[in-house]
Amino acid sequence: MSESKTKTMTWKTAESTKKSDSLLTINGIDLENVQTFKYLGHYHSDDPKEQKYLKQQIGAAYGKWNEFKKVFKDKRINLKTRVKIAQSMVRSRLTYAIETARLKSEQKNKIDTIWVRMLRQMVSGGFSRNDNHSLKFSNNDIYKICNTKSASRFCTIQHIKFLAHVARMPNSAIQKQWLFTDLPRKKDQWLPLANELDLDPIQLRYTIFDKNKLNELLG
């Protein structure tokens, strides 16, 4: 263990503990105790109710958008090409490492609003309005024109693919045992995702084991 690279973070502890400068000492060196930690580009926080990682990812997405905004909005470049570049450079930052998470409604709305607004800037007349002052193109229209999906739908697809990956692990794998556990408060963990996909929870479990059915589900 490298003392200079190791930090500590606590969950569900007293504020005094969370905000302590150090909780452990190794080889005479006090390990820094932090409230946020960046690991492989993903931010973790000691407060699960405050999704700091999402704020960081939104900032990173806007940063990359502003850096290449002239390219993304250049109508001389084929729209599909610009969208592909934006998916790779901007959406990837906006949705990074969310495949293991089940996003809340307000989080989905937030990333969808940001992503579709960027797409509108890429589409000719993306913000044009009808005589009744409503937008000429709905969000679904924008997705069809750009041949892409909403950010939340992309996250859902990645989440299902992650579950399928875990489901293919050996039965001895801790991740798989936790996924299919019947522990109280955990046995209904499939329900929210099943409701979102309009499937029965048992049907969803069987689907992730069948590659063809999974691809059909994901469209």
Position 52 confidence tier, pLDDT thresholds 50, 70, 90? low
DSSP 8-state secondary structure symbol assigned to residue 136: S
State the chain's mean pLDDT as an integer: 86
Contact 44, 9 (CB under 8 A): yes
| pLDDT surpasses 70 at 51 | no
Q: What residues does each domain of the chain span?
A: 7-34, 51-150, 168-218
| Unique residue bearing structure tokens 């059909």 | 216
- Which among 126, 150, 129 is positioned nearest to 73, based on CA atoms? 126
Enter the pTM of the model: 0.76
> Can you tell me the distance from the alpha carbon of 105 to that of 46, in angstroms, rounded to the nearest whole number?
22
The token pair at 55 is 């704020």
pLDDT, tens digit (0-9, with 9 covering 90-100), for 100-150: 777 888 889 999 999 999 999 999 999 999 988 899 999 999 999 999 999
- Which among 98, 28, 16, 17 is positioned nearest to 8, based on CA atoms? 17
> Can you tell me the distance from the alpha carbon of 119 to that of 122, in angstroms, rounded to the nearest whole number?
5
> Can you tell me the distance from the alpha carbon of 196 to that of 133, in angstroms, rounded to the nearest whole number?
32
